[in-house]
Structure 1
Amino acid sequence: MPLRSVSLQLYSVRQAIEHDLAGTLARVAEIGYQQVESSYRLYSRGPQFIDALRAHSLASPTMTSPLVDVDLHAVFAAANEIGAHTVVETFVPEQFWTSVDDAVRVAEHLNVAAQVAAGYGLRVGYHNHWWELERLFDGRTALETMVDRLRPEVVLEVDAYWAAVGGQDVAALLSRLSDRVRFLHLKDGPIDRENLRQLPAGQGKLPIPEILDAVPDLEVGVVEFDEYAGDIFQAVDASLRYLRPLVTP
């Protein structure tokens, strides 16, 4: 099973961060996380974010940021300061996935970003929601249609749950994309679009061990929640306790 390390997407605890950034990162570290997925938005809050990361010895191998219509040099300089090696575009809205031409345009933006990122010693990646998997062009998912046009150095961070919501056999999808997939977002639940029904990894319908087996080059499994109906810290703790025994460095 190729899960090498576990991280936490800080979007999961965004509400706590708004009230107490340093205290939230302290609690994340106390739970047992040694890595987080940060964001350009958090970096832009000022030096207190990086100070808190360093104070609690939290690495950030990945950072999320828009990669379209932004100052790419500022984004990649921030990633270098944070210590990330990959910057992931996490949200291209559903209305921009209506045709093959749309998928091509997304690929073109990522390819441009990848060329700029290389000058900073970085990679770029793409993170999906359900619509890139639900939408088909000539029987092929919009995500795969985009991937066909990507430069070879662009990687994927596949949200396994949203891929399932998009109607995919996730392990089969990952097998088809395995040469690109370096990161997985891992949450669980009943496989629907109701964010508040999301559950910690291992408590829902997602076949996580089978999914992990389909990604031989996986670098990090990233715990993430869009929403959670209970105590989010208990949820991210439960996910880590489920995933940690699966780690094989």
Structure 2
Amino acid sequence: MLSSPAVNLWTIRDALAADRRAALRRLADLGYRGIEPFEALDDPAGLRATAEDLGLAICSAHSHRFFGADRDAALEAVATLGAGLAIVGTGLPDDAFTGRAALARTADSLNALAGRAAGYGLRIGYHNYWAEFASRIDGRHALEVLADLVDPEIFFEIDCYWAALGGADVPAVVERLGERVPALHLKDGPVTEGAPHVALGRGAMPTARILAAAQAGALHIVEMHTSEGDVFAELAESRAYLESAAARR
């Protein structure tokens, strides 16, 4: 089943909490094909059953608990979801990107996790925020230095908005990393810390250039942390933008 475009479920967390099936049905009705859970351990079997019943694929899954006592439970949850791609978004030390020594420790942690994940049939990916790009080592973004240190099977889910907030030329980063970026988190807005997000195409993000720079087949995952409007209306507009962008390529 095709799983792009997709929505990271943090975007509709309030609607999910109120009525999960109804919220997911609205995404399917908007034409989204996939979803990305923000915490794999939250009822993976139930979520997968509901998603499949509605014709939605689970393209990938985040967990905040890949490091520590819950590691294997989190990996098993991603496997239960049927996602194949397990995404690290949090759980690393605060100084994980502050210098070469810290990056070496970060790479060791991710490599060890990737080795464990392989036993569950999973690949490990890393999702950035802004610090990974704001921090520079010998003139390079720390995240790009990390890419040289981790095992090549580890991939990157580039959150384009956070990367821009960290000072990155996002299309250039996506192009340089190439096939290491099989998934994009797409947000839009004024690229100002704390500002609410808007539908794709309505903010300052160079989304069209990012999409053109990405590898063919990369997952397009829409995410909004905050919105001043109706989040489903914003998602509908974002879906239309992606459809139009695809038609132009």
TM-score by length of structure 1 reads 0.90
How much does 1:13 deviate?
0.5
Secondary structure of the residue aligned to 1:79 is helix
In the alignment, structure 1 segments of 5+ residues that lack a partner are: none
**Which residue of structure 1 lines up, in the alignment, with residue 172 of structure 2?**
172
Query: 1:1-249 counterparts in 2 under 5 A?
Result: 5-41=4-40, 43-45=41-43, 47-66=45-64, 67-91=66-90, 92=92, 94-196=94-196, 198-247=197-246
Secondary structure of the residue aligned to 2:60 is strand
How much does 1:95 deviate?
4.1
Q: Distance in 1 between matches of 2:150 and 2:213?
A: 21
Q: Distance in 1 between matches of 2:21 and 2:122?
A: 27
Between 99-108 and 129-138, report the one with greater CA deviation: 99-108
Q: Distance in 2 between matches of 1:95 and 1:19?
A: 37
How much does 1:130 deviate?
0.9
How much does 1:126 deviate?
0.4
Q: Distance in 1 between matches of 2:94 and 2:241?
A: 32
Superposed CA deviations along residues 151-209 of structure 1, whole A, max 9, x for unmatched, are 0100010011111111111111112211311100001111111242x111111111112
Superposed CA deviations along residues 103-144 of structure 1, whole A, max 9, x for unmatched, are 222221111111112122211100111111011122111111
Superposed CA deviations along residues 31-83 of structure 1, whole A, max 9, x for unmatched, are 11121112434x43464423321221210110111322243332222222211
Q: Percent identity?
A: 34
Q: Tell me the amino acid that sits aligned with residue 61 of structure 1.
A: C
Q: Distance in 2 between matches of 1:142 and 1:221?
A: 24
2:97 and 2:143 in contact (8 A); partners too:
no
Q: Distance in 2 between matches of 1:138 and 1:132?
A: 14
Q: Distance in 1 between matches of 2:69 and 2:227?
A: 30
Paired residues in the alignment total 244
How much does 1:96 deviate?
3.4
How much does 1:93 deviate?
6.4
| Distance change >3 Å, CA 81–CA 176, structure 1 → 2 | same
Q: Tell me the amino acid that sits aligned with residue 60 of structure 1.
A: I
Secondary structure of the residue aligned to 2:149 is coil
Q: Tell me the amino acid that sits aligned with residue 144 of structure 2.
A: E
Q: Distance in 2 between matches of 1:247 and 1:7?
A: 14
| Distance change >3 Å, CA 224–CA 70, structure 1 → 2 | farther
1:159 and 1:185 in contact (8 A); partners too:
yes
2:189 and 2:195 in contact (8 A); partners too:
no
Q: Distance in 1 between matches of 2:136 and 2:246?
A: 34
Q: Tell me the amino acid that sits aligned with residue 55 of structure 2.
A: S
Between 91-100 and 121-130, report the one with greater CA deviation: 91-100
| Distance change >3 Å, CA 113–CA 239, structure 1 → 2 | same
| Distance change >3 Å, CA 247–CA 69, structure 1 → 2 | farther
Between 74-83 and 233-242, report the one with greater CA deviation: 74-83
CA RMSD of aligned residues (A): 2.1
Q: Tell me the amino acid that sits aligned with residue 97 of structure 1.
A: F
2:97 and 2:135 in contact (8 A); partners too:
yes
